[in-house]
Amino acid sequence: MAENLLAIDDLGDDFKGILDWAIEFKRAWKSGDDIAHGFLPLDALTVGCIYEKPSTRTRISFEVGISRLGGSPLTLLKGDIQLGKSESISDTAKVLSRYLGAITYRCFAHADVKELAENSTVPVINALSDKHHPCQAAADLMTILENFENTDDVKVAWVGDGNNVLHDLMLACAMLGIDCHYAIPKGYEPDEEVVERANALAEKNGSALVETNDPIAAVKDANIIYTDVFISMGEEHLKDKISDFDGFQVNMELLANAASDWKFMHCLPAHRGDEVTDGVMDHDNSIVFDQAENRMWAQMSLLTYLVDKHTWETMGEMMGLGIWD
Ligand code: CP
Ligand code: NVA
């Protein structure tokens, strides 16, 4: 069982159950079902949410989701606390563990969230680092499961940078045995160590993980086409990078190569006109705002699972899920 969530593969075999729980909990909540409204797994707990970078989705979805689970979110923006100024990450982790039920941390260097987790006695969730974005991948795979009843023949195509969002997307697809093809310009390959982990999972679960420099090859007959900004947070000084992404924009011409039931995904925020056109973002087949909504439901399942697995299991059983068969 995962104690922290630093990368999506920390969840191991429980990943699918966490997604099924989120899908069923969302349905139950929206239909006013007692299972969703009668349990408060975070009752009397405060969850500290530290941000070194800006956030819309992650911040709001955690704040609302924690409140709906009966807990209190405590958002700590860079500059609010001593972290990084006059106090080390390890001392901060030890102090915060005395007050909080869990900690979420959006940071620059992945080593920082690892260090926080290693020194914390409460669950730590990576809310985006330069290497991983597991909460995004959980919401993404939840959204894919909602859209495709059978994922055996689903092909996911990534077009863009070999970045943090791709890392967890490829791991998450491999964990569920979903084919993932990614097109990146030469020089922007994803981290080799992550690709090795994803390849091992893909082999175990019988799916393909394919790298190419050709967006058309990746998108060919794909059901899901996914992109992200070409310049991530922390890379603002690399403005020239954008010229290396000529031909990697997701537009209607590129999507002509996709399967007829294609869906477009983006973690957001989108830079319309760069990595994606308005026509694609606003197309009926764009599911980007479902993804954004699902950040909240997926994180509610993750938080309940990490903070109080017994209650998570009880709620899962009451929702009729065969998670533990
Ligand atoms: N997708 C995502 O993490 O968005 P924010 O940066 O707004 O949190
Ligand atoms: N790759 C982007 C994702 C933003 C949600 C970044 O790290 O800035």
Instruction: Quote the pLDDT of residue 150.
Output: 95
Q: Write down the catalytic residue from 107, 132, 295, 299.
A: 295
Helical ranges in the chain per DSSP H: 15-30, 34-38, 57-68, 89-97, 110-118, 134-147, 164-175, 192-205, 215-219, 252-255, 278-281, 288-307, 309-318
269-318 pLDDT, tens per residue?
999 999 999 999 999 999 999 999 999 999 999 999 999 999 999 999 99
Instruction: Quote the pLDDT of residue 324.
Output: 52
Average pLDDT over residues 263-270: 98
Instruction: Quote the pLDDT of residue 49.
Output: 98
Q: Minimum mean pLDDT among 125-129, 173-177, 236-240, 319-323: which range? A: 319-323
Token pair 């943090």 is at which residue?
164
17-29 pLDDT, tens per residue?
999 999 999 999 9
**Whose CA is closest to atom 2 on ligand 2?**
232
Q: Looking at the CA of residue 135, tell me the nearest atom of ligand 1.
A: 3
Residue type for 104, please?
Answer: T
Query: Is 299 an active-site residue?
Result: no
- Nearest ligand to the C-alpha atom of residue 232: 2
End-to-end CA distance of the chain: 16
Q: Write down the catalytic residue from 57, 106, 110, 167.
A: 106
Instruction: Quote the pLDDT of residue 132.
Output: 98
Instruction: Quote the pLDDT of residue 15.
Output: 98
Instruction: Quote the pLDDT of residue 176.
Output: 98
The band of 177, judged by pLDDT with boundaries at 50, 70 and 90, is: very high
Instruction: Quote the pLDDT of residue 114.
Output: 98
Instruction: Quote the pLDDT of residue 198.
Output: 98
Q: How far is ligand 2, taken at its centre, from the CA of residue 88, in Å?
A: 25
- Rounded to 5°, the CA angle 300-81-11 comes to 30
Q: Is the pLDDT of residue 323 over 90?
A: no
- % of residues, the chain, pLDDT over 70: 98
DSSP, res 306: H
Instruction: Quote the pLDDT of residue 85.
Output: 79
Q: Looking at the CA of residue 161, tell me the nearest atom of ligand 2.
A: 1
Q: Could you give all domains of the chain from N- to C-terminal order, each with its CATH number? A: 8-133+294-318 (3.40.50.1370), 136-290 (3.40.50.1370)
**Whose CA is closest to atom 6 on ligand 2?**
232
**Whose CA is closest to atom 7 on ligand 2?**
232
Residue 7 near residue 307 (C-beta atoms within 8 A):
no
43-96 pLDDT, tens per residue?
999 999 999 999 999 999 999 999 999 999 999 998 899 998 789 999 999 999
102-112 pLDDT, tens per residue?
999 999 999 99
Summary mean pLDDT of the chain: 96
Q: Is the pLDDT of residue 200 over 90?
A: yes
Q: Write down the catalytic residue from 228, 249, 291, 308.
A: 228
Q: Is the pLDDT of residue 1 over 80?
A: no
Instruction: Quote the pLDDT of residue 228.
Output: 98
User: CA-CA distance, 1 to 198, in Å (whole number)?
Assistant: 19
Q: Looking at the CA of residue 165, tell me the nearest atom of ligand 2.
A: 1
Query: Is 197 an active-site residue?
Result: no
- Nearest ligand to the C-alpha atom of residue 137: 1
250-260 pLDDT, tens per residue?
999 999 999 99
Query: CB 323: neighbour CB atoms within 10 A?
Result: 16
The band of 242, judged by pLDDT with boundaries at 50, 70 and 90, is: very high
Instruction: Quote the pLDDT of residue 171.
Output: 99
Q: Is the pLDDT of residue 229 over 80?
A: yes
Instruction: Quote the pLDDT of residue 318.
Output: 92
